[in-house]
Structure 1
Amino acid sequence: MSFKSLQDKIDQLGNPAKWLREVQVGAYQYPVKSEYTNWRDEQRSWHDTVGLLDQSLHMTDLYVEGPDTIRLLSEVGVNSFKNYGRNKGKQLICCNQDGYLIGDMVLFGLEDDKVNIVGRPAVANWIEFITSTGNYDVRTERDERSVSNPQQRKTYRFELQGPNAWRLLEKLNGGPIDRPKFFHMTEINLAGHRARALAHSFAGAPGLEFWGPWEEGDEVRAKIVEAGAEFGLKLVGGRAYGTCAVEAGWIPSPLQAIYSGEGMRAYREWLPGNGFEANASLGGSFVSDRIDDYYLTPWDLDYGRLIKFDHDFIGRSALMQMADRPHRRKVTLEWNADDAIAIYASQLHDGENGKFMEMPSAHYAAHPYDSVMQGGRHIGLSTYPCYLSVQRKWISLATIAEAEMGEEVSIIWGEPDGGSSKPGVERHVQREVRATVMGWPYSSAAQDYRSR
């Protein structure tokens, strides 16, 4: 069955809260080699030595340029864009008219009137819609992620993270690098080429993200590998890479709040019927017939502190009304080891098995949502469970109400009624997993970095 638009798919199939659970697309793809050595040592690299993370293929780049660039960003972003411009990074957070999240992407200030917006496609799609239907003097150029793009990418994008990252970067640069402030940009030398770089800490360790023309990527990578040998460099494959965000405390893909409401109808009619949003599979133990129950507010993801009401933007009035209400908060859940072991044991004994927990990332849908319970009450959602070999723990990120730090909650692991029809879901029964509420980021290095 083909669909002209996302709205057409909803019109034909009905309630999206039901058919999104049966979408056959699984977890978000990282189209790089799954392991270069083994994912356990690759996870350890950004803790103990240095890891090279290849971000060249899995993110969408949207370039926006023109006199109205900052006005556009200010009118779609809940955060302020005062004094934003060249050589500054920023997290762009977008909501719908009702104040619920469409998503977030990272902004790279290439010039005062030119930015590159990088991340999963949801926000890039929203901005392209706004520019195509609004009155903005801007030009856009899209460089789509490789799974949806048969063409060569415009740029390579690498990141070096770990305690040895800075020494390796300065060796590659041929001398000292003035360390830019957090989320500020600089330029460095790599294999005889000039690259732009952003200072941040995706994996919670020191380092830089840097990029340049695609044609230079192989040469730059080879030089990094050669120079990195003395620093214990490890190439980080897709399996380990998928755990970085959880350890650092970032929920990468809340379900975009676009599937309901007349205010978003024009956008749904603009979106393709086979695109990212039309295949945004839902998975996990949390099930509701109301698609709105899957929507999140900025406060749910700890973005409430970034909202600035000093400018007019989409969703401003709704967020002002929400501001003084009670909010869920983002936490890390540390899973009980015995309960996790019991799920693995169920695979080895006769009887009903629990949902298999793939290591190191147990994501089997684009948007995994598991119910968090306390005292028999639903108190929130757990998402992106992963295993950290350095800490020897299963953890997940969650947005919850009521429970305090150090308290015990429980996660319902597995889907009801034996599981959905998604290819990554075998027949299973649900299991209850105890978990301890902890802060975020879980990584001690990231905690130190964030405090500074």
Structure 2
Amino acid sequence: MLLRLADDEFLFTAGSGDWLLWQLNQGTWDAAVRDISPDRFIFGIQGPTSIHVLETVLADSLREVRFNRSRSATLGGVHVQILRAGISAELGYEVHGPADAADKIWRLIRDAGAPFGLRQLGIRAQPVQHIEAGIATNGLDYFPSSAITPGAAWQFRRGGVEGSFVPTNGFADYFRKPVELGWHVRGDFTHDFLGKDALLADRTAGDPPRVLAGLVWNSEDVAALLAAGLSDGPLPEPMELPRVAGPAFDTVLVRGRPVGVATGRTLSPTLRKTISLATIARQHSVVGTEVTVVWGRPGTPQREVRAVVAPLPFRPDNRRVDVTTLPTT
């Protein structure tokens, strides 16, 4: 996220600022950068009643803040920034503020949210919601090309990639074009930026050979994997629940032939199903197509799990709901 705080002041938030810092040192820029990570907190408040929670604790309206926009506010006498960003596919907000006031702000939001059923969830809930929302996540469902530069973010250097997929073209097999993720239609392209010509070419090139789709994994096959440790026979790799913390890429087959790669496999407590994303050949992306996912790294007792192509998102996307039509508390 890039928030504009003033004409010449911006706040960049991401998994790390490594690539931004590296790029800034590659040229002559009329800019200065400072890492303020230790000085700031970010709290996420997500869900249909998130606006009611924040309007209650702020004693102010947030109806004018559109999706992916922000404004400043005062909460408990502390200056904060309120960003509307629905990472859960629901209406949602982020509250940014000074670290020394984090505990105070946390308690104020928690107490204001109690009448609205606010629950405190950990970081493991966020990536589950991303898959339910059909959102491909940087470093989990694909890797950016910056991952092979000296400025690669720390999270891309922490270890290997799990799963059954074996790259044939090196690390580039983990890259994804915006057109493959359905992102090529975004932006107005009225300014110059790195990669503009390539994106414009993809816009006019017609349908891409592979696209992003959803997969619903067969529950009987998943249950057999989870119960493998309670029976005789070779032990497949365990299936971490609700999902593995890092990147995992699994080969997708149709009639024994590779047609794509599944990522983000997660148990959805909302859908009561095991789901994932898949970058898959267009001709096999039709909803209802039966595929097979290869579970387990090469050299382990691999299993084949049946799956069916599903539409994305897995549940309704309410991020851009018109809050001016919602009732007030």
| Fold match (TM-score > 0.5) | yes
User: Counterpart of 1:80?
Assistant: none
Cα separation, 2, equivalents of 1:413 and 1:126:
33
User: Counterpart of 2:327?
Assistant: none
SS across alignment from 1:130: helix
Q: Pick from 218, 235, 248 the counterpart of residue 103 of structure 2.
A: 218
User: Counterpart of 1:11?
Assistant: none
User: Counterpart of 1:37?
Assistant: none
| Letter in structure 2 aligned against 1:192 | G
Cα separation, 1, equivalents of 2:209 and 2:168:
22
Q: Pick from 179, 183, 187 the counterpart of residue 303 of structure 1.
A: 183
- CA shift digits 1:37-74 (9 cap, x unpaired): xxxxxxxxxxxxxxxxxxxxxxxxxxxxxxxxxxxxxx
Q: Would the alpha carbon gap of residues 387 and 271 (structure 1) be closer, same or farther in structure 2, given more than 3 Å must change?
A: closer
User: Counterpart of 1:172?
Assistant: 57
User: Counterpart of 2:315?
Assistant: 443
Is 2:4 aligned against 1:109? yes
Relative contact order (C-alpha < 8 Å, sep 6+): which is higher?
Answer: 1
Cα separation, 1, equivalents of 2:7 and 2:310:
40
Is 2:244 aligned against 1:354? no
Cα separation, 2, equivalents of 1:299 and 1:280:
28
User: Counterpart of 1:335?
Assistant: 217
Q: Pick from 278, 283, 291 the counterpart of residue 409 of structure 1.
A: 291
User: Counterpart of 2:126?
Assistant: 241
Cα separation, 1, equivalents of 2:79 and 2:147:
43
Q: CA deviation at 1:395?
A: 0.7
SS across alignment from 2:5: strand
Cα separation, 2, equivalents of 1:239 and 1:271:
24
| Letter in structure 1 aligned against 2:55 | E
Cα separation, 2, equivalents of 1:167 and 1:249:
26
| Letter in structure 1 aligned against 2:247 | H
Is 2:290 aligned against 1:432? no
Cα separation, 1, equivalents of 2:57 and 2:321:
29
Q: Would the alpha carbon gap of residues 133 and 108 (structure 1) be closer, same or farther in structure 2, given more than 3 Å must change?
A: same
Q: Pick from 34, 39, 42 the counterpart of residue 154 of structure 1.
A: 39
| Letter in structure 1 aligned against 2:162 | G
Q: Would the alpha carbon gap of residues 295 and 351 (structure 1) be closer, same or farther in structure 2, given more than 3 Å must change?
A: same
Q: How does 1:321-400 map to 2 (within 5 A)?
A: 321-323=201-203, 324=205, 326-363=208-245, 366-400=246-280
CA contact (8 A) 1:299 1:328 kept: no
Q: Pick from 245, 248, 255 the counterpart of residue 143 of structure 2.
A: 255
Is 2:29 aligned against 1:136? yes
SS across alignment from 2:23: helix
Q: Pick from 165, 169, 179 the counterpart of residue 286 of structure 1.
A: 165
SS across alignment from 2:13: strand
Q: CA deviation at 1:226?
A: 1.8
User: Counterpart of 2:325?
Assistant: none
SS across alignment from 1:234: coil
SS across alignment from 2:68: coil
Q: CA deviation at 1:439?
A: 2.1
- CA shift digits 1:185-216 (9 cap, x unpaired): 12334223232111121112223111111111
SS across alignment from 2:35: strand
Cα separation, 2, equivalents of 1:163 and 1:187:
22
Q: Would the alpha carbon gap of residues 440 and 115 (structure 1) be closer, same or farther in structure 2, given more than 3 Å must change?
A: farther
Q: CA deviation at 1:450?
A: 5.3
Tell me the TM-score normalised to structure 2 length.
0.87
- CA shift digits 1:151-193 (9 cap, x unpaired): xx22111111122222211210124333411111123342232
CA contact (8 A) 1:333 1:396 kept: yes
Q: CA deviation at 1:393?
A: 0.9
Q: Would the alpha carbon gap of residues 129 and 389 (structure 1) be closer, same or farther in structure 2, given more than 3 Å must change?
A: same
Q: How does 1:265-276 map to 2 (within 5 A)?
A: 267-268=149-150, 275-276=154-155
SS across alignment from 2:220: helix
Over aligned residue pairs, what C-alpha RMSD do you find?
2.3
SS across alignment from 1:223: helix
User: Counterpart of 1:198?
Assistant: 83
Q: Pick from 113, 128, 134 the counterpart of residue 228 of structure 1.
A: 113
| Letter in structure 1 aligned against 2:178 | P
| Letter in structure 1 aligned against 2:272 | R
Cα separation, 2, equivalents of 1:333 and 1:450:
25
| Letter in structure 2 aligned against 1:107 | L
SS across alignment from 1:435: strand
Greater helix content: 1
CA contact (8 A) 1:246 1:384 kept: yes
CA contact (8 A) 1:172 1:189 kept: no
Structure 1, unpaired ranges of 5+: 1-105, 145-152, 261-266, 419-428
- CA shift digits 1:49-106 (9 cap, x unpaired): xxxxxxxxxxxxxxxxxxxxxxxxxxxxxxxxxxxxxxxxxxxxxxxxxxxxxxxxx2
Q: How does 1:61-80 map to 2 (within 5 A)?
A: none
CA contact (8 A) 2:212 2:277 kept: yes
Cα separation, 1, equivalents of 2:166 and 2:214:
21
Structure 2, unpaired ranges of 5+: 323-329
Q: Would the alpha carbon gap of residues 157 and 451 (structure 1) be closer, same or farther in structure 2, given more than 3 Å must change?
A: closer
- When the two structures are aligned, how many residues end up with a matched partner? 314
